[in-house]
Amino acid sequence: MKLYNTVDKQILREKLLQSNEERVTLSFYKYYQIGNPAIFRHHIYYYWSQLGVMGRIYVANEGINAQISLPKTQFDAFKNALHDITFLEGVRLNIAIEDDGKSFFKLKIKVKNKIVADGLNDASFDVTDGGQHVDAAQFNELSNNDNTIIVDMRNHYESEVGHFENAICPDVDTFRESLPIIADQLAEKKDKQIVMYCTGGIRCEKASAYMKHKGFKNVFQLDGGIIEYTRQTRNLGLPNKFKGKNFVFDERLSERIGEEIISSCSQCEQASDVHKNCQNSACHLLFIQCNTCADKFGNCCSLPCYQYTQLPEEQQIELRKGIFVNAQSYKKGRTSPFLKNKELVAKVEELYNNL
């Protein structure tokens, strides 16, 4: 048995979209010293692939970080197999809030240096000395206190569609950027209660320890992140202080938590909170688009991108030769169509001007 996917991703995506199989989307993580991540990776790929697991899993010496989906009929079998792994026994599974079963279309398990790219030198501080975990009720109580500062540990494109009331939302592209920025921004407020949150909790494990290392005494982290907070508020009838959508890193791109739409279309600026990846494969920009602009630009981020997608495939291939496509997210005032592919934009515009 090959321990990696060998089928074209477009074929797998179409198969998933056409399937009526009921699937469950979930995530989990665990910091734990794994002696040989490569062997562990092969072990779980072999067994989980037989249960129909799809998703993205990172394995490192420091532990595991997983976002997956699996058939509902295999949920109990997967849970038993997961808990048979000693350090994962009893690990919390964050079940998706909104789920159509179309979140992942293949199984991908990678061995990494870290399970989250945090840019930290773990040897420079005690990464296990994290903030105090708080549940939804405790989080709400803390948020009502004037001495509390709430910090969003996610990237700008995550927080722009949804965040907690009065939260500080750093204008960053990556998690590693946010840590020094937040520490500097709050340097004169070390007497405050710092409450940190992220999607499922994993980023706050080290972020809270980092803040304590920087001299912050009263550091808290939302246990289970936004996903668990939502589950608890719904099950216990607690006030929901999260506004908008929760961004997720799979085919769904988001799940609705609050009814408010707090963001706007990247193109026309009318209210919208629907993230898209530009349909132009030579761009693939992550941006927000309303239905009107989606129809106008064919789910593309700009007119040149739309025009490019209308060309014959052979011509598209010829035009993008030598073009490097790097995943980027849209920021008003900074991002232009194709971002780094201005040469391709010029080619497409010249082509259409000569028609």
CATH number reported for the structural domain that contains residue 232 in this entry: 3.40.250.10
What digits encode the pLDDT tens for the residues 227-276? 999 999 999 999 999 999 999 999 999 999 988 999 999 999 999 999 99
pLDDT of residue 303: 87
Residues 135, 176, single domain; the answer is: yes
**Model pLDDT, residue 355:** 55
Domain C-terminal end among 111, 138, 165: 111
Instruction: Measure the CA–CA gap between 326 and 323, rounded to whole angstroms.
Output: 10
Tell whether 134 and 72 lie within a shared domain: no
Q: Does one domain contain both 103 and 139?
A: no
Buried-state track 74-92, b at ≥16 Cβ within 10 A, e below 16: bbeebeebbeebeebeebb
Phi then psi for residue 142, to 5 deg, are -60, -40
> Which residue, 31, 28, 115, is CA-closest to 66?
28
Task: Catalytic residue, from 198, 204, 290, 293: name it.
Answer: 198
Which DSSP category does 211 fall into?
H
In a domain, 48, yes or no: yes
What is the rounded CA–CA span in Å between residue 166 and residue 148?
Answer: 10
- Whether 198 is covered by a domain: the verdict is yes
Per-residue pLDDT tens listing for the chain (355 residues): 678 788 888 898 898 888 999 999 999 999 999 999 999 999 999 999 999 999 999 999 999 999 999 999 999 999 999 999 999 999 999 999 989 889 999 999 999 999 999 888 888 888 889 999 999 999 999 999 999 999 999 999 999 999 999 999 999 989 999 999 999 999 999 999 999 999 999 999 999 999 999 999 999 999 999 999 999 999 999 999 999 999 999 999 999 998 899 999 999 999 999 999 999 888 888 999 999 999 999 999 888 889 989 999 998 888 877 766 666 887 765 555 444 466 677 777 777 776 5
**Per the domain annotation, does 241 fall within a domain?**
no
Going by C-beta distance under 8 Å and a sequence separation of 6 or more, which residues neighbour residue 167? Answer: 150, 151, 152, 159, 197
CA atoms within 13 A on the CB side of 48: 28
Could you tell me if 132 and 230 lie in one domain?
yes
Helix or strand run (H / E) with residue 163: strand 162-164
The domain total for the chain is 3
Range of the domain at 302: 275-353
Catalytic residue flag (residue 169): no
Clarify whether residues 136 and 216 are in a common domain: yes
Pair (190, 138) in one structural domain: yes
Say whether both 77 and 130 belong to one domain.
Answer: no
At residue 321, the pLDDT reads 77
Indicate whether 103 and 140 sit together in one domain. Answer: no
- Tell me, yes or no, whether 293 lies in a domain: yes
Evaluate whether residue 19 is within a structural domain: yes
Residue 1 pLDDT: 67
User: Domain check: are 163 and 201 in the same one?
Assistant: yes
Same domain, 175 and 100: no
Are residues 146 and 169 both part of a single domain?
yes
Q: What pLDDT was estimated at residue 31?
A: 94
Q: How many Å apart are CA 134 and CA 228, to the nearest integer? A: 11
Q: pLDDT of 145-163, one tens digit each?
A: 999 999 999 999 999 999 9
**Of 142, 207, 141, which is closest to residue 177 (Cα–Cα)?**
207
**Residues 30, 15: contact at Cβ < 8 Å?**
no
Q: Does any domain span residue 3?
A: no
- What does each C-alpha distance from 269 to 8, 63, 151, 287, 349 come to in angstroms? 36, 41, 26, 12, 24
How confident is the model at residue 338, as a pLDDT? 47
In-domain check, residue 149: yes
Residue 17, domain member (yes or no)? yes
Residue 81: give its domain's CATH number.
3.30.70.100
Name residue 149's amino acid: I
Last residue of a domain, one of 46, 76, 111: 111
* 137 shares its domain with 79: no
